[in-house]
Amino acid sequence: MELVSLKLNNNKNIELHDLLDIQGSIRRIIIISAYIDLDVIEDLIKYLKKYKDNRSCPVLKIFTDSSSSCFYSDITIKEKYEKLSQKIHKFCSHDSGIFLVRAGKLFHSKCFVIESNTYRKFIIGSLNLTKKGLNENEELILLGTTDLAKKTKIFHLTNWIINEYLQSLEEKSIKVSEDTKARISPLFLRHFLLQGNIYYELKENDPFRFKLRLPEKVTNVEAEEIHPLLDGSIRDSISIINLIKCSEDQGGLGKELPKKSKSKLSWKKYCVETCYGFWSPSFFIKEISKVIEERKKLRKPYYQKIKTIIVEERNNIFEKFKVFIEDLNNYICKNYSDIEWDYYQEKKIHKAWDKWYKNLEKKLNNTEYYDRLVSGITSASVPDVWNDPLSSREFEESFLESIIYYWSKEYSKETKNKIAQVISKNLNLSDDDKDNMDIERLKKLIEEWLQKYEGQEIFSDEDPNVSGKM
């Protein structure tokens, strides 16, 4: 066996086929990786198809951490896992597949076994089967190859992994398939938070603002002192919305825009505010989706009108913009004789506008981007920050502090936060309990509940004593 650094002595990216390369035709690949990239798994399947031993049905088993997989929190990712599982089952043994492991607070093992009809290769170290692991990070691995005819230490070591360790992992795993309905219930706060999503409010005007790159002195002046098309305190930008809706006397097109109607439904009551955004469990994904669809329905006329005007009035908007820029430059020259607006020189700003405008049109024609803009909300998987003690502590503490804050509002009946209400009920907390709660005690109580009622949903109103495990 030898120790190998993937970066220090190698300036090139490590290709997957270099890592898996072995003499003979492949009969078995075992991947144990705390984190995986689904694109890399796709490449792995293609590699095995190409180099498999056609005289036998190959074995492909992939083990990864259930929480960090985002399988339970992201529908798109779940579907990708299921499609990859189908591809594996089409040409691999019946016991092959992708396994979602829950072992301890964090399943962090990394080990690869590749076996051909003549040799077996063993890799263990810091390497995860991810693009970053292969192409960016410095990883140190212990690598060894043995002839199957020789009963070497590597042979016996890998036999233990294949015959004993994998069995224990499978007992703590759920195998991905088309009808995967079982859910690995969280036992610790990390599992609990990773089986959720982060939601963000979009700054609606950002995509419609063109950066002016004004001199610093000018950006400190109140907008109304400079030009009616500028709004509020200057933030070094002009909104195309103002060019569209402001009157002709003010320098705009004078177009009327529909009102952005507000939904009476609240999505934030299904979320907890954290340092990374508004966290919500997958349990409430249907409720939040319903709110988002309602918001899109009410707000779409406004954005559809803007989109139409941007396309149909392109030249007229540009003419208004040129007049505005000329007025703005005249103001700077008159009031700040000691400075020049460099961005205006040689009409650089006109070229920049044209480029920005084309990019805006392109973004508005992107269905995914446009839907997100209309809803005003976007979501992402929870960042797995538990390798960084400071970040993970901040995330957990911000979640727990928010729950305690929502409880403090309960006394005046101001809170409508569904998560805080249900957790309070399931933890069977009195008003005094909530009033004297701190984050360490709350974390302990949540984890004790998760372990006592393993398999039950803490966000459900159902009584776990009746429907669950005692």
Amino acid at 200: Y
pLDDT in tens, the chain (470 residues): 788 787 665 656 677 888 889 999 999 999 999 999 999 999 999 999 999 999 889 999 999 998 888 888 788 888 899 999 999 999 999 999 999 998 888 888 999 999 999 999 999 998 888 888 887 778 888 888 999 998 899 999 999 999 999 999 999 898 998 666 667 788 899 998 998 999 998 875 578 999 999 988 888 888 888 999 998 777 789 999 999 999 999 999 999 999 888 888 889 999 999 999 999 998 898 999 999 999 999 999 999 999 999 999 999 999 999 999 999 999 999 998 888 898 988 789 999 999 999 999 999 999 999 999 999 999 888 988 888 889 999 999 999 999 999 998 865 555 689 999 999 999 999 989 998 999 999 999 999 999 999 888 898 877 766 554 43
- Which CATH code for domain 2-175? 3.30.870.10
- Full-model pTM: 0.77
Question: What order of strands is seen across the sheet that includes strand 2-5?
Answer: 2-5, 140-147, 119-125, 110-116, 26-33, 59-65, 97-101, 173-175
Closest to 41 measured CA to CA, from 85, 78, 74, 94: 85
pLDDT of residue 92: 94
Mention every residue, 6+ apart, whose C-beta is less than 8 A from residue 255: 244, 245, 309, 313
User: What does the domain layout of the chain look like in residue ranges?
Assistant: 2-175, 201-264+279-379, 385-467
**CA atoms within a 13 Å half-sphere pointing along the CA-CB vector of 407:** 24
Give the number of other CB atoms < 10 A from CB of residue 308: 11
pLDDT of residue 450: 92
Query: Over the stretch 223-268, which tens digit does the pLDDT of each residue have?
Result: 888 999 998 777 789 999 999 999 999 999 999 999 888 888 889 9
Longest dimension (CA), the chain: 90
pLDDT of residue 180: 62
